[in-house]
Amino acid sequence: MKKIIFFFSVITLFLAPQLHAQKKRMMLFDEYLNGIVLMKNKAKTSAKLNYDTANKKMMYLQDNDEMILLNYNQVDTVYIADKRFIPLHTMYLEVVHTKNNEIFIDWVLKDRYRGNRGAYGQITQNKVETINTAHWTNNEYKIQTAEVLERENANVYWIYMDDKPVRCRNEKDLLKCFPNKKEEIKAFVKNEKLNFKNPADAIRIIDFCLQ
């Protein structure tokens, strides 16, 4: 128990500045999925759930309205489909069990600008503006941009090393954590054609390091 409390205390120091930032929602799943909220008093509630990675809020549907799950200090675990999340103050971390350890994921999703879509569907770096006549009102119109965004993640992964929590944002961070296995890790990533920006690949790489 002391180990877990210490782990969360260290994470909090890194996350404190962003706990209250309000940003555009960036949902983890494309849609709300069946899930279960397990409370510390062992009560269970089924709901359609999703996780807002930008504002670190667990969301649920109530009569088709999006609601924020409050009383997070009373929540023990949240299950969404086959994923498990645990609360940390006002945010949630996904817990991934591997053969060698547990990995905690602080999900961070971002939209990366790719360009603008032209009239025939091609993506260019030139801005394209179109007028949607459906929005004309008293000679006013709404300008719409054909901006193309690509979703990517900038997750933070937490692991235990020598009974201390360590965070990794990228492969470079991971190599610093395992200097004696640097070449072995590089060879594994290259041979398996893995990309740390892919969450599934990141888990494989981290699990390999923990062997």
Are residues 136 and 48 part of one domain? no
Mean of the per-residue pLDDT values of the chain: 80
Contact indicator for 36, 30 with CB cutoff of 8 Å: no
Domain that holds residue 120: 111-151
Number of domains in the chain: 3
Q: List the structure tokens of 171.
A: 């492969």
Are residues 176 and 123 part of one domain? no
Question: For the whole model, what pTM was predicted?
Answer: 0.74
The string of pLDDT tens digits covering residues 8-17 is 555 554 554 4
Are residues 94 and 55 part of one domain? yes
Are residues 176 and 159 part of one domain? no
| High-pLDDT (> 90) share of the chain, % | 56
Are residues 37 and 81 part of one domain? yes
d(CA 193, CA 173): 19
Question: Where are the extended beta strands (E) located within 3-53?
Answer: 33-39, 44-52
Are residues 97 and 21 part of one domain? yes
Are residues 176 and 77 part of one domain? no
Are residues 123 and 95 part of one domain? no
Are residues 147 and 97 part of one domain? no
Of 43-57, 63-77, 148-162, least confident by mean pLDDT is 148-162
Residue with the two structure tokens 């500045």: 17
Of 15-24, 42-51, 72-81, least confident by mean pLDDT is 15-24
Are residues 9 and 92 part of one domain? yes
Contact indicator for 58, 105 with CB cutoff of 8 Å: no
Are residues 197 and 147 part of one domain? no
Are residues 137 and 115 part of one domain? yes
d(CA 43, CA 11): 27
Of 25-39, 105-119, 132-146, least confident by mean pLDDT is 132-146
The string of pLDDT tens digits covering residues 151-198 is 788 999 999 888 888 999 999 999 999 999 999 999 999 999 999 999
Q: What is the mean pLDDT of residues 89-115?
A: 85
